Structure 1
Amino acid sequence: MNFKRITFLHIILFVIAVLFSVGPWYFLMLTVAQLVFVPVTLQLILKKEKRFYYYFAIPAFLSIFILQVTPQAKLDVIFAAIYLLFTFVVALYGLGRFLRRGFIYLEEFAIDAGMMYLFIGGMWFFAYIAEIDTGFSPLLTWLTGIHFHYSSFLLPVFIGFLGRLYKTTGYKIVCTIILVSPIIVALGITIAPWLEVVSVLLYIIGIYGLIILTSKATFPSSLQKTGVLVSFGSLAVTIIFSLLYAARVNTVNIDFMLCFHGLVNCVLFALCGIISWAVLTPPSREQGWRFPISNIKGAYKIGEQILTKHKGKQQYKGLVDDMNIYVEKDNLPSTIIDFYENTSDYKLFSEVHWHSWFKPFAAVYRMVSKKIQQLNLPFSNKQMEMIGDIIAIEDGRVKTRAWVRKIEKDVIFVALYSSHQTNDKSYMNIALPLPWSSMIGILELQRYGEKLLLTSRRRNESDAGIYLAFGKSIFKLPLQEQFLIEEIKEGQLLAKHQMRIFSLRFLTINYTIYLK
């Protein structure tokens, strides 16, 4: 069944629901979302997932149709539960998309988030039909459900489509604002009403930012661009009234919001937006991972496992055989090159600094890391010597070697070093075995003045990044790391290793390295 036929059937279903509707007229604003806007938008996302549509969507949409055209009855809870199950499956699919990719391609994550938010809309709708006491009036419960169908499902999906066409730093800021706003709305509803005002202010910033981004984006046709501008532009008007309502302005009441805000969002934002994006839905730029992954996964004790299994194996002198595969050796100080090619000739001293905001998490993590003997960093910032061996290991990659680092007798790191090439660029490919999984650090090496920079920051669709491999899935983590190495004098190096999560620095390790 193709897109046009499915869309036509949903429109027919909604028209019949309108003709035989037994509820208040404004209920149709949620019904049209459930019977037309949600299924049509999902068709734009899930073009190849036909089984999903038949198994879960058809029963859900028929249930909504029955609820709209029949008087209130005891079976209504069952029909609402069927629709709730459908939104749960949509959320699972969005979560699955996210887990296969991780924190990369923000525009795709916006679509994933919209699908997951739809389940919250399903819960509020179920609470309304089942007459569950949410602490609010039935009408406010219903309005919260409609909010999560429009502002929290359709809007993130539309933003995702825009990001496929036009993705800048401004887009990342605007997209993030829109995605966190529904959470703040929920907190405002349940905890502090003043947060509702904050959430509306965030929506205003995000929506006006969307209009600017859309005006700068290049669309396949001027007609489509105009339609998208009308869609986002309608929100720029209605959001002002949302702010007035959240600020408790007397003239902007529920009746006004239903008539003006609801209808404008329904017709101009949702309908115009869906038609515009359906004209030509931008394809995803997402690509599968192209780099080799270590086939070694950890068990309960990582350090002990590696040392025992590979005891007596060939040892390497360095982490790299020839640094020329990464950078031109003549352009860097000789000690930096020699350290990587003859690592065992050097003594390594470290000072670990957990940043203040992260110390409570580090203290808890330390109890786990000490047992599994991996990423087992000390809590103290006292300078300590790290010792260890570089052991040959086979894990399905090229010339892999395990660098096992210890402080006294405690294993601190077990890192499996290899390399790979993508589009004629070489990357350092480092695997850290974890229980039944593996953390992968793909680092790009570049000269930084007289220093060497190793970074996981991804630029221009490179492989660089930090990933978690479990089973056949590879998940991009919201972590970034950077090593900056400089020669102090011949035979002596300083290195600074910084780790960030969501761009917030949480760990810095300072290394002093001497030739033995």
Structure 2
Amino acid sequence: MTFRKFTFIHLILFLMVAIFNVAPWPFLMLTVAQLLYIPIVLNFVMRKGDWLRKYYFWIAIPAYLAIVVLHVSNETQIDRLLAAVYFIFTIIIACYGVSRFLQRGFSHVEEFAIDMGLIYLALGGAWFFAYEAHIDTGFPPLITWLTAIHFHYSAFLLPVFVGFLGRLQKNVLYKVICTIILLSPMIVALGITFSRWLELLSVILYIIGLYGLIVLSFQAQFTSPIQTWLVRISFAALGITIGFSFLYALGSGWGLFIVTIDFMLLFHGTLNCILFALCGIFGWSLAIPKSTHRKFDFPVSKIRAGLVVGDNILENLVDAQTNYYSLVDDMSVYEPGISVEKVSPTIIDFYESTANYRLFAEIKWAKWFKPFAFIYRQISRYVKQINLPLSNSVSEMTGDIFAIKDRLDGRVRPRAWVRKVDGQVTFVALYSEHKTAERTYMNIALPLPWTAMIGILELNQVGKGIQLTSNKQSGPESEAGIYLAWKNILIKLPLKEVFHVEELENNVLRAEHQMWIFSIPFLTINYKIYHQKLIK
């Protein structure tokens, strides 16, 4: 079915409801989202081959018919059932959002915004069901219904539009604004439920986010002048209506201004319904930006652990016919990212003769993360993987390197580096490398219970030292990152790590390993690395 036919059918469906609607006119603001806006935007998001597109009509037709019946008939005994049909539909859409995320993870913030819009829609469905089923939510029925509208417009349409904008204009400002927009719906809900101060804060965050979007919409390059101004008008409309939301929050909490629900419905609701939603949909329909995400296709270790990892995992994996004494056979494979002629000879020797070196580590957890580290430590002691001490005292990290059978791992020349502190297994890391285009990446797998954490690291030269990083420093096409592998699914994690390795003196190295979660630093490991001939 063509997009025009699809849109025409949903438009006729909505007009029929508008003509025969038995509820007050403001209720049509939610209805138009359910019967027109959401189907069209879902059509924008779904891709050929998606499971949702394959089964869409079987899933959607009962939901849309349920909405029609609810609005053209007086209250009946089956209203709860009809609302439940629509609620189930929104849950399926949320599952589609989750499935999109699982195909990619946190690798593209603009796609994550679309995922979150799809997931948030289920909350809109839940509040709609609560209203139609007369469930006591602790709020007046009107507030329950308005919350359903909030999750259809501000929590579904807005994140999807933000995702489309990010496909065109993604910079540091966009990432900040996108984060604010995605957090705001939940902060609004918490504020309404628990605290007027939190509700006011949520509106202030929305103001910052929405005006940031307006700025970004003036920076982005659209395909035509018509699309440019429709999208800008869409975001600008929210910039106007959010001001009245701010006045309403002040009025409901402190009585400083008088902005009534009736005024909000007439002005705020109508502007959002027509200028924000309708202009936005018209604008994006002219040219839907294409996603820049590409499926991850680098080699991934097939080795997974049971409940306990430790060095016992190697029992049937070790290739007794092969011996490795290093993490890398030949560092020149990482050229041109590094130059073996210019990098410190001791660094080259460490990676090509790792067994000849001894490591001493100082582990520093960030203060804010220490409570989580304590909890995690209780688990890692049992699992025996990524099992780092809580103490920041310097400890020797002993290690052995074992060849792993290629056919069991699935990568080229894999080897395990097992590191221990005071006899307890700290890391079991499986090293290999792979080449994509003209760049070779260090490909590291840490087996976990039924999964594996995969580190794809770029090697770059810094003076005579080197940097190993999961950041995409060589460009957006880089495969660098930290991933979670589960069965055939590879998820980009919100983790980053950087190793800085430099020579202090002949046969002595210093390495700093830093890690971030959601761009917040939480772990630093400082290493002193000595050639064993220096230590008796």
TM-score under structure 2 length normalisation:
0.94
- Quote the residue 2:97 is aligned against: 94
Structure 1 residue 458 displacement after superposition:
2.1
Structure 1 residue 406 displacement after superposition:
1.4
- The answer to whether the Cα contact below 8 Å between 1:290 and 1:422 also exists between their aligned partners in 2 is no
Alpha-carbon separation, structure 1, partners of 2:77 and 2:102: 39
CA-to-aligned-CA distance 1:95-128 (integer Å, 9 cap, x gap) = 1111111011111111000011111111111111
- The answer to whether the Cα contact below 8 Å between 1:445 and 1:454 also exists between their aligned partners in 2 is yes
Alpha-carbon separation, structure 2, partners of 1:62 and 1:310: 57
Alpha-carbon separation, structure 1, partners of 2:257 and 2:219: 38
Q: Give the number of equivalent residue pairs.
A: 516
1:435 aligns with 2:449: yes
1:424 aligned partner, one-letter code: E
- Quote the residue 2:221 is aligned against: 218
- Quote the residue 2:471 is aligned against: 457
1:484 paired residue among 500, 505, 512: 500
1:315 aligned partner, one-letter code: N
Give the % identical residues: 55
2:438 paired residue among 393, 418, 424: 424
- Quote the residue 1:353 is aligned against: 364
- The answer to whether the Cα contact below 8 Å between 2:241 and 2:268 also exists between their aligned partners in 1 is yes
Alpha-carbon separation, structure 2, partners of 1:260 and 1:301: 60
Structure 1 residue 354 displacement after superposition:
1.5
1:316 aligned partner, one-letter code: Y
User: Matches of residues 170-185 of structure 1 in structure 2 within 5 Å?
Assistant: 170-185=173-188
Alpha-carbon separation, structure 2, partners of 1:304 and 1:209: 51
- The answer to whether the Cα contact below 8 Å between 2:306 and 2:448 also exists between their aligned partners in 1 is yes
- Quote the residue 1:167 is aligned against: 170
1:447 aligned partner, one-letter code: Q
1:147 paired residue among 144, 147, 150: 150
2:27 aligned partner, one-letter code: F
CA-to-aligned-CA distance 1:360-395 (integer Å, 9 cap, x gap) = 111111122122211111122221111121111121
1:315 aligns with 2:314: no
1:189 aligned partner, one-letter code: I
1:133 paired residue among 124, 136, 144: 136
- The answer to whether the Cα contact below 8 Å between 2:110 and 2:162 also exists between their aligned partners in 1 is yes
- Quote the residue 1:236 is aligned against: 239
Q: Cα RMSD between the aligned structures?
A: 1.2
CA-to-aligned-CA distance 1:213-256 (integer Å, 9 cap, x gap) = 11111111111111101111111111111100011154311010
SS of match in other structure, 2:62: helix
- Quote the residue 2:459 is aligned against: 445
User: Matches of residues 212-361 of structure 1 in structure 2 within 5 Å?
Assistant: 212-248=215-251, 249-310=256-317, 312=320, 314-326=322-334, 327-361=338-372
- The answer to whether the Cα contact below 8 Å between 2:311 and 2:428 also exists between their aligned partners in 1 is no
SS of match in other structure, 2:446: strand
- The answer to whether the Cα contact below 8 Å between 1:318 and 1:341 also exists between their aligned partners in 2 is yes
Alpha-carbon separation, structure 2, partners of 1:7 and 1:220: 22
Structure 1 residue 292 displacement after superposition:
0.6
SS of match in other structure, 1:67: helix
Structure 1 residue 313 displacement after superposition:
5.1
User: Matches of residues 459-478 of structure 1 in structure 2 within 5 Å?
Assistant: 459=473, 460-461=475-476, 462-478=478-494
- Quote the residue 2:381 is aligned against: 370
1:469 aligned partner, one-letter code: A
- The answer to whether the Cα contact below 8 Å between 1:161 and 1:282 also exists between their aligned partners in 2 is yes
Structure 1 residue 150 displacement after superposition:
0.5
Q: Which runs of 5+ in 1 are unaligned?
A: none
Alpha-carbon separation, structure 2, partners of 1:94 and 1:320: 40
Structure 1 residue 52 displacement after superposition:
3.1
Alpha-carbon separation, structure 2, partners of 1:313 and 1:47: 48
SS of match in other structure, 1:331: coil
1:434 aligned partner, one-letter code: L
1:403 aligns with 2:417: yes
- Quote the residue 1:384 is aligned against: 395
Alpha-carbon separation, structure 2, partners of 1:191 and 1:448: 51
